[in-house]
């Protein structure tokens, strides 16, 4: 379980992990605005499909939802808060 805060406009690599396509990730976001998550090949990268999580939403996804093909290279789960409000995240790996 990984938890943290994203300040307004912040881009943060929140964890580094080698995933498999069918691994599940539960994303929960609290705060007034959405955030977008990426499975990137570098810290703070955005070289995958973005998964948006709305404010006060729980979303369970599979790693294949990010649309990457090289799971050994795309190891950085990155969260981006594009809003002017602080949000909090809670990430669980299954």
Distance from C-alpha of 49 to C-alpha of 33, rounded to nearest angstrom: 20
Cα 68 from chain centre = 14
Q: What is the pLDDT of residues 22-42, one digit of tens each?
A: 999 999 999 899 999 999 999
Distance from C-alpha of 55 to C-alpha of 45, rounded to nearest angstrom: 22
Distances (CA, A) of 90 to 5, 40, 68, 70: 9, 18, 22, 25
CB-count exposure of residue 48 (10 Å: 0-12, 13-18, 19+):
buried
Backbone φ and ψ of 66, nearest 5°: -75, -15
pTM, two decimals, is 0.95
Q: For residue 5, is pLDDT > 90?
A: yes
Average pLDDT (5-22) is: 96
Contacts of 69 (CB under 8 A, 6+ apart): none
């Amino acid at each position: 379980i990984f938890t943290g805060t994203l300040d307004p406009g912040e881009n943060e690599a929140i964890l580094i992990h080698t995933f498999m396509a069918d691994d599940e990730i539960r994303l929960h976001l609290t705060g007034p605005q959405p955030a977008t998550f990426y499975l990137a090949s570098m810290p703070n990268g955005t070289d995958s499909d973005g998964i948006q999580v709305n404010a006060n939403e729980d979303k369970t996804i599979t790693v294949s939802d990010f649309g990457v093909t090289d799971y050994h290279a795309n190891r950085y789960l990155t969260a981006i808060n594009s809003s002017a409000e602080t949000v909090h995240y809670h990430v669980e790996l299954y």
